Amino acid sequence: MAPIRIAIVGVGKIARDQHLPAIAANPAYELVATVSRHDPELSVPWFADLDELLASGVAVDAVALCTPPQVRYGLAVKALQHKIHVFLEKPPGATLAEVESLRTIADEAGVTLFASWHSRYAAGVEPAKAWLAARTIRDVKIIWREDVRVWHPGQAWIWQAGGLGVFDPGINALSIATHILPRPFFLTEATLEVPSNCQAPIAADLRFTDSAGTPIHMDLDFRQTGPQSWDIIVETDGGTLKLAKGGSVLTLPEGVREDEDREYPELYARFAALVAEGQSDVDIAPLRHVADAFLRGHMRAVEPFIE
């Protein structure tokens, strides 16, 4: 098959760090254009907005939308209506209804829509899921603490409505938990700490349970200094499972497994397979949990955030 002619829309940190290398390393793709507010100075045509690209005559089969989530819906609609396959960086949209609408539009257009959850492709996630499937789960702790100044410098959109705040990384933990835990779970209580000069939380404490009454506690904080924590710890009748470093390191009673980072290469392999099969993959479970937290959570004002 001919390579998928793909354009990246939004050439920021995540595109440069992950999307561009993954595309370059996969022969299933050919990068044919970029869309960004500023010329990214790459060896392909650059356009200031998606309309310019669509009117240019450059042949495009797919786009990867790496913009902030607040503007992603309109861009995705334009692409889908032009019969262009769409790869959505996480979170797939600013609201659940937006993503449901995009799924309908993609189905009607007969093209692929992929809501990507890169953390599900971390090396330890699938082995963790398989190990937990044969065990009784007694307790789950999710600790996702990082320094926003290090990982999201200058990203003002993350503090605006629809930017999710600390749930921008926290949704990665939820994407793993919804994949590896054998039963669906639901929110019972939440406290969200929102700086007085922001519209999104800087920290959150959430408690979930499932149909078996399993306690699940989630601790999110953007103010972490020193060692960063991206850990999921599951107590079972067969011992303790720990996923660390965002899912790349798996510790089981029988030992530790750590493999190289393959998240984005695996995402792009999945996207190519979906395009070839004429299928979509749009799981909204992680985003639904975030929406529930905003709906049910107690908002507590804290001191202003100054980057």
> What tens-digit pLDDT sequence spans the chain (307 residues)?
799 999 999 999 999 999 999 999 999 999 999 999 999 999 999 999 999 999 999 999 999 999 999 999 999 999 999 999 999 999 999 999 999 999 999 999 999 999 999 999 999 999 999 999 999 999 999 999 999 999 998 889 999 998 999 999 999 999 999 999 999 999 999 999 999 999 999 999 999 999 999 999 999 999 999 999 999 999 999 999 999 999 999 999 999 998 888 999 999 999 999 999 999 999 999 999 999 999 999 999 999 998 7
88: nearest Cα among 294, 247, 246, 281: 281
Place of tokens 């990867």: 64
pLDDT of 1 reads 77
How far apart (Å, rounded) are the C-alpha atoms in residues 272 and 284?
Answer: 20
How far apart (Å, rounded) are the C-alpha atoms in residues 148 and 150?
Answer: 5
Q: 126 forms bridges with which residues in the sheet?
A: none
How far apart (Å, rounded) are the C-alpha atoms in residues 211 and 182?
Answer: 11
pLDDT of 33 reads 98
**What three-state secondary structure class fits 85?**
strand
**What three-state secondary structure class fits 187?**
strand
Active-site residue list = 90
Q: Decide the pairing of beta strands 203-210 and 185-195.
A: antiparallel
Chain mean position to CA 200: 17
